[in-house]
Amino acid sequence: MLGLLVGSVADMLTSASAEARNTKALRAKMTEVDEWLIRRHLPSRTRRQIHMYYTDEWTPGKENPLESQILHDLPLALRTQTVVHMTQHSLTALPLVSGLVWAYTPWMADKAKELVLTALAAHMEPLQIASGHVLCRDGDLLEGMWVLTDGQLAAV
């Protein structure tokens, strides 16, 4: 009984100390970010957006915080295969993609779908965006397109 109690207390302290370390790391990172923001004399709106980004990025328990890094580290062929799997439902719902697929004769549609998705996925880069971040404004010239796979997006 005593051994079980000591083990439970040790587990509790280990968990609490890990959470404390994460909180301390978040505070240290936010202090660095805040000091940098002050030195750069950035507009208050930009400072708030950067602050929200880092708060969101460093929040303990955030789901898949390393997804971008993991995908970036993979070899191109494996990254492409992974991105095709992750985005195929979103991509095939786009009229542009379905139009490219059906431009082939019907008996080639499955192969065309694979080719189109693979070609797109090879050029995609994962992007995690903090709440409140502005992707673009009306009238901006764009250099690409975004495919939302998780979360919500608002046009304002």
List pLDDT tens digits, range 114-144. Answer: 888 888 888 888 777 777 778 888 888 887 7
- What is the rounded average pLDDT of the residues 38-51? 81
| Residue 80 to residue 116: CA distance in whole angstroms | 12
Q: Are residues 82 and 121 in the same domain?
A: yes
pTM of the model: 0.51
Q: Are residues 85 and 136 in the same domain?
A: yes
Q: Are residues 73 and 49 in the same domain?
A: no
Instruction: Tell which wins on pLDDT, 16 or 96.
Output: 96
CB 65 within 8 Å of CB 57: yes
Q: Are residues 126 and 151 in the same domain?
A: yes
Q: Are residues 43 and 82 in the same domain?
A: no
| Residue 51 to residue 37: CA distance in whole angstroms | 9
Q: Which of these three, 60, 79, 99, is where a domain ends?
A: 60
Locus of tokens 């303990």: 60
| Counted domains in the chain | 2
Q: Are residues 84 and 148 in the same domain?
A: yes
Q: Are residues 76 and 136 in the same domain?
A: yes
17 confidence band (pLDDT: 50, 70, 90): low
Q: Are residues 70 and 130 in the same domain?
A: yes
pLDDT tens-digit series, residues 71-94: 888 888 888 888 888 888 888 888
| Residue 131 to residue 115: CA distance in whole angstroms | 34
Neighbours of 35 (CB within 10 A): 10
> What is the percentage of the chain residues whose pLDDT exceeds 70?
77
Q: Are residues 26 and 93 in the same domain?
A: no
Q: Are residues 77 and 141 in the same domain?
A: yes
Instruction: Tell which wins on pLDDT, 104 or 1.
Output: 104
Q: Which of these three, 60, 79, 110, is where a domain ends?
A: 60
**What residues make up the domain containing 133?**
63-155
Q: Are residues 82 and 147 in the same domain?
A: yes
Where is 142: in which H helix or E strand?
none
Q: Are residues 70 and 141 in the same domain?
A: yes
